[in-house]
Amino acid sequence: MVKLKICGMRRSEDIEMANRYTLDYIGFVFADSPRKVSYEQAKELSELLSDEIVPVGVFVNEHMKLIVDLFKDGIIEMAQLHGDEDEKYIRNLKDKSIEETGKQIPVINAIEIKDGADYNDELLKWRDSASDYFILDSGKGSGKTFDWSLIDKESEFFKNSIFLAGGLNSENLALAIGEFNPFAVDLSSSVETDGFKDEEKIKDIIKIMENYR
């Protein structure tokens, strides 16, 4: 069973679609992006979100206080980190979340896969990370796929639960799932038209995902 996350939600219409198709995760982007939302926007949107769907905050080198405050207020339930956050940062974030809320915030740690590099040794460095999940991506919302052949799918790294992102769309989604057997897939720009979430494109993805959910 593969879970579905759609990132970059920023309108009430987006949340209505998420609820209608019972997504597993949605992403609120707090980093610089055309899809960036404020604290108040995310709060209003999260209040509209079905309890069955997990809201994820997406951050780049963010101060821990904002992440913990969002978690404490129930606006997000997980943190997705796309900057230079190291293992010390991740452990401190988890400790801080326990201090403030009594609960440990789950972390999705992003690893950017760039063409022309050997990532298999790099991936193994994260094998015993405090991160709960990893997301393999081609960049921060680049909308492009990375070279899937760069990754050894038999690596011990894949004992971790993996979100797969980077240019996934209705044409390559089934192939990507067959290649990686990920815990979840993550889409954003490929389900948009003119920068806004497009229900017809989301419906196309939902139809494909029926084979895996």
- Residues that are catalytic: 7, 137
- 170: its two tokens: 């209705």
What distance in Å separates the CA atoms of residue 24 and residue 199, rounded to the nearest whole number? 16
The answer to whether 125 touches 141, Cβ cutoff 8 Å, is: no
Task: Work out whether strand 192-193 and strand 196-197 pair parallel, antiparallel, or are unpaired.
Answer: antiparallel
CB 12 within 8 A of CB 47: no
| CA 93 to chain CA mean position, Å | 17
Positions of E strands within 24-158:
25-29, 54-59, 78-81, 107-112, 133-137
Number of other residues whose CB lies within 10 A of the CB of residue 37: 23
